[in-house]
Every structure is written in structure tokens, then in C-alpha cells.
Chains A and B, each alone.
Chain A
């Protein structure tokens, strides 16, 4: 799909299997966020389709899309917690709106989710009062509120220190092992990625350049993948002296 004349995603063909953890790697501007928006139904592709649990979300009715969305839990990059609600109320929101459970039951479920993410003491705090790591955990708790089949995490380790990030990895592994849910993680943190992944996919400039089990992925010889995994920066542009002087004498480019 394209924004104006800029093609952001080009012929991306990706399958995610039930019960697996797929990590989507990619540098800035590779199209990861755009791909995620498409998967969540927040953007429409120029061509092609997106099928979740057998439903093509690019062509279905709003009610079918709603039914699909209820089976997916999402934790956004900035947590996207509702600032006017406490942590408990945030986690309770999907339950209140989308189920007919009694208040007391909802309280119990919320408490269970908060314990699972390690926030049992923070329930009555408001999002601005939480630390970055706590906010991420609260977002995961809210994503898990309806016991989804699919969990989508957008840059879960972004902005977290290594200890907190490792804690979050453990949480994801715990969810994976306990509930067997399908997890799609978008990240560029390699250590977390290879800890939690079953398979790894990589996007570069809008193209899917590799999808493999993680053991094979680390052996992939594609130059961009090697550059990513080995943390090699792009070569600094080297300007020869003559070119520089010529350009200098020519003067700045006249725009228009």
C-alpha cells in the first residue's frame, strides 16, 4: 500500500500459524507499523487481502470485523491506556463493554489479569502515575482481558531498561506457555526477539525479505539481515576532495 507516491508495503505475503510466536523485525521506515495497522484493520491495503481466523477483514462487514477484533488483544507502543481511568478500570473496560458479566465477576477477572502481569498493587493508580514498565504491563493486562486467541504487541520493549525489558519477555513467555496463544510481536530489540520467538520475519523498505524459524534466520546470508543482526551502521558517505571543492564553488542548489 502507498501513502501518496510513496510505496510503504510492497507485495508482503506473511502467514502466522496458530499457537506460534512470530517476531517481526525491521528498521525504522521498514513498514512494520503500517503492516501492524493493516492487521488490526486500521488501514486498508491497496491490493491483496488480510485473513484472520478465516475471515477476510478487508472485505467483511463491520459486525464480522467486531467479532474478529474481540479475539485479538493489542498492546500499543505507547500503551494507549485511557488516562481518565484507573488501571483497574482500563483492564475492566473490554469486559464491561463486550461481555455481560456481573460487576463482581469483572472485578475478579481484572484482579487475576493484574496478578498475571505483576501489577496487583497498582490497580487504583492512574496511567500518568505509572512507570514506563508498569504502563506496558498494564497494556498487556488490558490486551489479555478477554482471553484473546491472538496477542499483538507493538514494540513492547521500547524505552525500557534491560531489567524491565527482560521481565516483560518472561511475561510473554509465561503467557505463551500457559495459554498457548498466537503472539505477533513487532520489535527491533534483537535480544528480546530471539528469546521469545518461534519464527522471525524481517521487513526492509516495505518488502518481506525473510521468514524463518529463528535458528535458520540467524544463519541467513542476506546482506541487510546480516547488517541488522551484526549491528553494522550504513557506510558514512565519503566525499573526495575534488568533488567537495567543485560542489562548494558551484554554490548551493537553487530550489525552484
Chain B
């Protein structure tokens, strides 16, 4: 195949995947009401809660530590540069806004992508390989409602929570650095944070986390459902799920940030 053909072929594959993801996302979204507590089916909600523990609760330690480290690093690096301009007070703004708008959602998404996109695709891929998905279908049960929708609801609940935690950890790490290097008081630091961060930034952070949740769960599910074969295919699917969901998360981040700035929601204009 010539280079053009190869590029074209790759493009066709990606476009087809994008279409499949959209169709899957829509069919899962339609089944969400059945998974809700009180108004939905009790068993589905219970399944969703189990998934929340798997996706969210077990990701807490790692996400927290990653955010603490990144916060510290960000504060350190920016301080060493801003000091040259005598603008050290802006370190606080940088860390607070940087984490709220960008790093909080992104670090959470990357960490959850690594854990959960792989786990979801492995679980569903194995179910495909052992004909469990077929078994659900021939019993008259819908795999989307039974397996996919609870996972999606779980992600929609846990990712914003993890993101909030991540942001708080990052900002706190910034305080730890400044307290350590220049004895800044907590009151001054967190007061400056409260002044820097606006409601719009927090809303942006939460919307991003929902978008990332959607990407991670659906890429994981799609890769799992497309498994054809045995353990080797499941392994491929797991790798592909992590790679693709990470890539799409960053792409979505770029798009979201571009929209944020183009709409004039930052104080840039």
C-alpha cells in the first residue's frame, strides 16, 4: 500500500471507531435512568455502587499522591521562574487556577484511565471471549443495561469526586511548598486561593471531569466488546483501551480549553 493508502486506511478506521463510540455512548445514555437509585431497578443501582468502589474508591490513594506531587512540583518550578520577576505572589494563582482548570481533571483522568479503562476492557473482553455477553443476550437481557450503564453511572459520580480531591491535594501541596520555603501562613495562602478561583473555573473543572468519565468508560467498553478471540485478544484490547482513552482525554482537554478561552470565560480578554 502506498503511503496515501495507509494514511487513508488509518483514517477510515479511526472515523469508524469514533462513530461506534458515539452510538455506544448514546445507547448507554438512554439506559441510565434504569440504573438510578429510587427511580431505577434496584439491582442495577447496586451494581453501579460496586463499580463506584472499584473505579473511584480504589483510585483515591494514587490520585491523591499524584496530585500532591504535581502540586509541589508546579509550585516549585513556577516559583523559581517567577522569582526573577519579583512576582512570587502569582505562584498561588498559578497553582490554584492551574489545578482547578487543568491539572485536577487531567491527572485524575489519566490515573483513572490507566486503572479503569484497562480493567473495564479486560472484564468485558473476557466476558465476550467466554460467551457471557451472548448468554445475556439469549436470555433476553441487554448487556448495555446490565453491564455498561452501571459502569458509566459509577464513573459519572466518582470522577468529579476524585477531581475535587485531586485539585484540593494539588493546591494544598502548593501551600506545603510555600510554607516550607518562605514560611507563608495558611491563612494568607488559602485566602489568595479563594480570591483567585472563580465559580466558573470550578464548573469548568466538573464539566471536564464528566467528559473524561464518558471517554474512559466508553473506550474501555468498546475495546472490550470488540474482542475476537482468546486471552491474546483480551490483552491487545486492554492495551488499546488505555492508549486510546489517554489520547482522547488529552484531545478533549485541548478542545475544552480552546472553547473556554474562545468563549471569553477566562479573564484573558
A146 to chain B, nearest CB (A): 9
Q: Looking at the complex, which one of B43, B130, B135, B141 makes contact with A74 (CB distance below 8 Å)? A: B135
Number of B residues whose C-beta is below 8 Å from A? 11
Q: Could you tell me the distance between the alpha carbons of A108 and B137 in the complex, rounded to whole angstroms?
A: 25
Q: Which of A125-168 contact B (CB under 8 A)?
A: none
The answer to whether A80 touches B137, judged by C-beta atoms less than 8 angstroms apart, is no
* B residues near A96, Cβ cutoff 8 Å: 43
The B127-151 residues at the A interface (CB cut-off 8 A) are 130-132, 134-135, 137-141
Interchain nearest-CB distance for A151 vs B (Å): 12
Of A65-73, A171-179, A208-216, the stretch lying at the interface with chain B is: A65-73
The answer to whether A82 touches B139 (Cβ under 8 A) is no
**B140 x A70 contact (CB < 8 A):** yes
Bound complex: CA of A83 vs CA of B132, how far in Å?
9
A interface, CB within 8 angstroms of B: 40-42, 66, 69-70, 72, 74, 76-78, 80-83, 93-94, 96-98
Contact partner of A40 among B43, B130, B132, B134, CB < 8 A?
Answer: B134
Across-interface contacts of B43 in A (CB, < 8 A): 96
Q: Is the CB of B134 within 8 A of A98?
A: no
| CB neighbours of A82 from chain B (8 A) | 132, 135
> Which 5 A/B pairs are nearest by Cβ-Cβ distance?
A80-B135, A80-B131, A69-B140, A66-B140, A76-B131
Distance A93 CA – B43 CA, assembled complex (angstroms): 11
**A41 contacts B138, CB within 8 Å?**
yes
Chain A's closest residue to B47 (CB) is A84
A69 B130 Cβ-Cβ under 8 A = no
Q: Are A69 and B138 in contact (CB under 8 A)?
A: yes
Question: Complex Cα distance A14/B35, Å?
Answer: 41
- In the assembled complex, which residues on chain A have CB atoms less than 8 Å from the CB atom of B131? 76-78, 80
Contacts of A80 in B (CB 8 A): 130-132, 134-135
A69 touches B134 (CB 8 A): no
Query: Quick check: B134 and A76 within 8 Å, CB to CB?
Result: yes
